[in-house]
Amino acid sequence: MSAVSENPLVPMQRRRPLQPVDVVQRTIGYVLLVLLVLFCLVPFAWVLLSAVDQNAGATVQWPTWSFDNFTRFFAAPGTPMLVINSLVVAIGSTVLNLALGVAGGYALSRFDFRGRRFFMFSILLIRVVPAPATIVALYLIMVNLQLTNTLHGLILVQAVGGLPVTLWLMKGTVDAIPLELEEAAWVDGSTRLQAIRRVVLPLIGPGLGAAAMLQFMGSWGDFLTPLVMLQSQELYPLAIGLFRAFSERDHVDWGLLAASAIVYVLPPAILYIFVRKHLLRSSLGGALKG
């Protein structure tokens, strides 16, 4: 006999035979899990199949394979401009948001001033207020600044709207960088701005990527703000274009609508694939070793 079995202090572990109640519970769990998966996958399956179906309908069906829906999407007058407007607004607001967020996050992390804690929680409180509750006041402000019905006005609103989350994210990221690294750069003769560019910016990649992803997706998927701020159809983003295509016609072109949804999903998906590898990578360990 083995040493384990001879030792009376080590109990023998035996599997308890499955009881009928266990089998029923496990079966119910698997059935519920399958139903949940189907509930989540069927809408995506409809979009994918309808986008390549010439005779797409409101139900899931095997398609007659064709890319005519995508051809009609890009050939339709005004449709490419919807995509361009969405890209301009999303990229512009993301760049502005990151620039302000990095500067503000560094200041909140490295400078100790009176009221800093109150200020941080105050700006986070902005995200608690629902957007429809402030959209009228925001619209009146933009009217007084003469920034309504402009893409740069929409970029400013969306960039500032996502700034609280970016500030908190960047502050936490800068907090994780030891101040000794900057002090070493100061000793070498670098100014504070030079130390930020040479030391801090290369180390905040994961936080910067997460902030960029959140801001881009929030701006790309925003519907209420451009609906209120823009009046000219040539300035509309793709989100409003999809809504108008679905609501303003007696007959819905399901194939064209599905192809538009695929195009609408692609930019955030591509950005996620590009940023994903940077989100889990930290350069701080390599910097400390060096």
User: What would the pLDDT profile of 78-106 be if each residue is shown by its tens digit?
Assistant: 788 888 999 999 999 999 999 999 999 99
Cα(98)–Cα(206) distance, rounded to whole angstroms? 13
* Domain final position from 41, 66, 91: 66
Whether 257 contacts 243, CB under 8 Å: no
| 3-class secondary-structure state, position 201 | helix
pLDDT of amino acid 117: 84
pLDDT of amino acid 66: 83
Cα(22)–Cα(48) distance, rounded to whole angstroms? 39
Provide the token pair at 270: 């591509």
pLDDT of amino acid 3: 47
Check whether residue 238 and residue 106 sit in a common domain.
yes
Report DSSP state, residue 248: S
- The segments of the chain whose pLDDT lies below 50 read 1-5, 282-290
| 3-class secondary-structure state, position 65 | strand
The alpha carbon dihedral of 43, 44, 47, 48 has a sign of negative
Cα(130)–Cα(41) distance, rounded to whole angstroms? 30
Provide the domain count of the chain: 2
Check whether residue 194 and residue 225 sit in a common domain.
yes
Give the residue among 69, 82, 169 at the shortest CA–CA distance from 120. 169
pTM: 0.78
Cα(101)–Cα(95) distance, rounded to whole angstroms? 10
Residue matched to tokens 């909140």: 108
Give the residue among 244, 222, 220, 219 at the shortest CA–CA distance from 76. 244
Check whether residue 112 and residue 91 sit in a common domain.
yes
Range of the domain at 62: 16-66
pLDDT of amino acid 65: 82
Give the residue among 95, 127, 280 at the shortest CA–CA distance from 205. 280
Check whether residue 205 and residue 270 sit in a common domain.
yes
Q: Is residue 6 part of a domain?
A: no
pLDDT of amino acid 39: 87
| 3-class secondary-structure state, position 256 | helix
Cα(138)–Cα(170) distance, rounded to whole angstroms? 26
Cα(42)–Cα(112) distance, rounded to whole angstroms? 52
Q: Is residue 3 part of a domain?
A: no
Cα(107)–Cα(111) distance, rounded to whole angstroms? 5
Check whether residue 234 and residue 160 sit in a common domain.
yes
* Domain final position from 49, 66, 83: 66
Check whether residue 108 and residue 38 sit in a common domain.
no
Residue matched to tokens 């195009």: 263
Residue 88 burial (CB count, 10 A) = 16
CATH number at residue 161: 1.10.3720.10
Q: Which residues contact 280 (CB under 8 A, 6 or more apart)?
A: 206
Q: Distance from first CA to last CA of the chain, Å, rounded?
A: 55
Q: Is residue 1 part of a domain?
A: no
